[in-house]
Amino acid sequence: MVDEIRSKAKELLTDGTVECVIGYERATDGVTARPLFAYTAEEIDRFIMDNTCVHNLARYLLDRKGKPTAVVVKPCDSRTINLLVQENQIERDKVFAIGVTCPGVVEAHWGEASDEAQPRCVTCSLEVPAVYDYLVTMPGERQTRTGFPDLERMETMSPEERREFWERQFERCIRCHACRQVCPGCYCPICFVDQLDPTWVGIRNAPPENQVWHLIRAFHLAGRCIECGECQRVCPVGIPLMLLNQKLAAEVEGMFDFRPGLDAETLPPFAVFKKEELEAER
């Protein structure tokens, strides 16, 4: 399978279709994967593809606007391409998507890879990329789907319990903004959290300030989050950020029958409206 990726990547580089192929290589710990930007055929030989390849590489397309680039995408990552094309951030004809069908990736930390599926993989509904120019099959038994047990558990809690739950989560936040940096949907040149005048999110690190950050971060991704789960993966203090994103995704699907990133044409829910709707919910 990795041979298919390598030969396709070489072909794309040598015939000049793209200048760079973004894929995965083995990290120096010998166990986990890391992104590799290959500009030459020699570099392509370092490509790997297995269930430790956790990163969403399509996010790097934002750094290569206008430059012909090929990228290896899993099904969740592939939705990034549709999202960014829809939002006029990248040009579809400048991107060559090497799609990989995905049975799910595992929890991997420096020096060790477990058999445990990533939380985003047990809730995932896509097996084949939503968009690709060339398709490769990753072998492996598909992770069991569990639905959204955490989300359902939250719904059974009282408002008071939910408030306490989130306060415990938000008080751990160190506001490193890794969730934003890794997110393919967070590309504003100036983020509201970095603005000083007005200061939307105070510099003091306290649950109420952190809550403003997390609620608005999630809301800015409402109807846009492609559920790659990178925010939660990179969180150094383990805040279950995907709970907020999944809650909004479920509401968006229920209200507007829309899931982002499945195609590049449908307008997102906040860009359109119907004259007759939502009066009962109001």
Partner 1 sequence: MDMNGGPKIVGFLCNWCSYAGADMAGTSRMSYPANIRIIRVPCSGRVDPLLVVKSFQQGADGVLVAGCHPGDCHYSEGNYYARRRFGLLRPLLDFVGVEQERLRLEWVSSTEGKKFSQVVSSFQEELERLGPRENRG
Site residues, partner 1 (CB under 8 A): 154, 159-167, 192, 200, 206-209, 211-212, 215-216, 218-219, 222-223, 244, 247-248, 251-252, 255-256, 269-270, 273-275, 277-279, 281-282
Shortest distance, position 251 Cβ to partner 1, whole Å: 5
Residue reference for tokens 């009282």: 158
**Does the N-terminal peptide bond of residue 139 adopt cis geometry, omega within 30 degrees of 0?**
no
Shortest distance, position 188 Cβ to partner 1, whole Å: 13
Shortest distance, position 263 Cβ to partner 1, whole Å: 20
Q: How far is the C-alpha of 81 from the C-alpha of 77, rounded, in Å? A: 8
Of 260, 22, 279, 246, give the one whose Cα is nearest residue 147: 246
- Rank residues 139 and 198 by Cβ distance to partner 1 and give the closer one: 198
Shortest distance, position 221 Cβ to partner 1, whole Å: 11
What is the sign of the dihedral through the CA atoms of 209, 211, 213 and 215? negative
- Rank residues 2 and 151 by Cβ distance to partner 1 and give the closer one: 151
Shortest distance, position 273 Cβ to partner 1, whole Å: 4
- Rank residues 115 and 282 by Cβ distance to partner 1 and give the closer one: 282
- Rank residues 139 and 238 by Cβ distance to partner 1 and give the closer one: 238
Q: How many Cα atoms are found within 13 Å in the side-chain-facing hemisphere of 259?
A: 11
- Rank residues 39 and 270 by Cβ distance to partner 1 and give the closer one: 270
Mapped onto helix, strand or coil, the DSSP state of residue 113 is strand
Q: By CB neighbour count within 10 A (0-12 exposed, 13-18 middle, 19+ buried), where does 153 fall? A: exposed
